Amino acid sequence: MNKKTLKKRTLKLINDAIKLAEEGNLELARKYIMLAREYSNKGRFKIPLEYKRKFCRKCLTPLIPGKTERIRIKSKILVRSCLICGWIRRYDLRKNKENKSGTSDN
Ligand SMILES: [Zn+2]
């Protein structure tokens, strides 16, 4: 499989995982994310940031606001927490305006 195909499949896997999570099938959704990460390792490409943000970095559950994820904004800091494993990620909304590189995500 070439890199382009692999990448396309990876992104599709993540989208499918989100759909599964929305339907409540978290177990399978996690497996899809795991597979997507395997593909990215194998193909040596990075999962785009906007896709990376769609799932929990720790337990790999797709983050669905109100279902598997809680979003709070505290004095211009966006706080996202995974309801499955308790993983918390903070995004400084002020910083993001000036710096869109998102390096803090890696
Ligand atoms: Zn989690």
Cα(63)–Cα(59) distance, integer angstroms: 10
Asked if residue 73 belongs to a domain, the reply is yes
Residue 55 alpha carbon to ligand 1 centre in Å: 8
Asked if residue 60 belongs to a domain, the reply is yes
**pLDDT computed for residue 27 by the predictor:** 97
Nearest to 84 by CA among 14, 27, 9: 27
Binding-site residues sit at 56, 59, 82, 85
The H helix count followed by the E strand count for the chain is 4, 3
3-state secondary structure of 100: coil
Asked if residue 99 belongs to a domain, the reply is no
Asked if residue 98 belongs to a domain, the reply is no
Phi and psi at residue 3, to the nearest 5°: -60, -40
pLDDT tens digits, 27-72: 999 999 999 999 999 999 999 999 999 999 999 999 999 999 999 9
Asked if residue 22 belongs to a domain, the reply is yes
Nearest to 34 by CA among 5, 66, 60: 60
Count of structural domains within the chain? 1
Residue 2 alpha carbon to ligand 1 centre in Å: 31
- Domain of 37 in residue numbering reads as 3-92
Asked if residue 101 belongs to a domain, the reply is no
Asked if residue 106 belongs to a domain, the reply is no
pTM confidence score:
0.83
Asked if residue 58 belongs to a domain, the reply is yes
pLDDT tens digits, 18-32: 999 999 999 999 999
